[in-house]
Amino acid sequence: MHRATLIALVCCWLSAAAGVAIPQAPATPQQDVREASLPDGTIGKGALANAKLIHDTFDGVFVCAVRLGMTKPTKEEMFVVQNPVGRAGAQCWRETWFLTDDTAAVGRFDILFLEDGQGGASWVLEDAAIVPEGVIPRTGDSERAVAMPHLTPAALDAVVQADSERYVATAKAFVEHATQGRVLPMVALTSQLTIAIHGLENIYDTYTNNYLPRFENATVEWDEEFVIIGDEAGNRGIDVSGMLKGEKNYRISLAVMREGGRHVIVRFNATRPEAQDPHRAIR
pLDDT given for residue 6 in this prediction: 55
Closest CA to 189 of 265, 76, 122, 95: 265
Answer whether residue 227 shows pLDDT above 80.
yes
Asked if residue 223 has pLDDT above 90, the reply is: yes
Average pLDDT over residues 13-27: 39
Give the pLDDT band of residue 168 (cuts 50, 70, 90).
Answer: very high
Q: What is the pLDDT of residue 170?
A: 94
Q: Where are the domains of the chain?
A: 3-144, 151-280
List residues bridging with 136 in a β-sheet: none
User: For domain 151-280, which CATH number applies: 3.10.450.50, 3.30.200.20, 1.10.3720.10, 3.30.1360.10?
Assistant: 3.10.450.50
Helix axis angle for 164-179 and 153-162, nearest 10°, is 60
pTM over 0.75: no
Average pLDDT estimate for 108-122: 85
pLDDT at position 154: 73
Order of strands across the sheet that contains 121-130: 24-25, 121-130, 106-115, 92-101, 73-85, 44-45
Q: What DSSP assignment string belongs to the chain?
A: --HHHHHHHHHHHHHHHHT----EE----------SSPPTT--EES-SS-HHHHHHHHHHHHHHHHHTT--SEEEEEEEEEEEEESSTTS-EEEEEEEEEETT--EEEEEEEEEE-SSS-EEEEEEEEEEPGGG----SSHHHHHHHGGGS-HHHHHHHHHHTHHHHHHHHHHHHHHHHTT-HHHHHHTB-HHHHHHH-HHHHHHHIIIIIHHHHTT-EEEE-S--EEEE-TT--EEEEEEEEEESSSEEEEEEEEEEETTEEEEEEEEEE-TT---GGG---
